[in-house]
Amino acid sequence: MPTLFIVFGFRFMFYSNDHTPIHVHVIKGDAEARFQVQPDVILLDNKGLKLSEVKLAESLVEENKEMIIERWKAFFADKK
């Protein structure tokens, strides 16, 4: 489960068995949201994050979109 970065108590990560579309999991405590990253950042599901936390997490995903895509491609290229 590679962690991409941690900021404001949010952990942005992939699961090692993830699948396309490119997406990122955002975990804070026992809550988790999942965002599609490409082609657009879209909230796919939310299990327990407050609306304000979802908005903050979404903006952080948007700001780090290119890095997330690069890390996804590098990590999952090794899994083929």
Please tell me the total count of domains within the chain: 1
pLDDT per residue over 1-10, tens digit each? Answer: 799 999 999 9
Closest CA to 13 of 55, 77, 78, 75: 75
How far is Cα 26 from Cα 22, in angstroms, rounded to an integer?
Answer: 14
pLDDT at 1: 77
Q: What is the full DSSP assignment across 24-60? A: EEEEETTEEEEEE-SSS-EEEEEES--HHHHHHHHHH
Asked if 12 and 68 touch (Cβ cutoff 8 Å), the reply is yes
In terms of residue numbers, what domain contains 35? 3-77
Confidence (pTM): 0.93
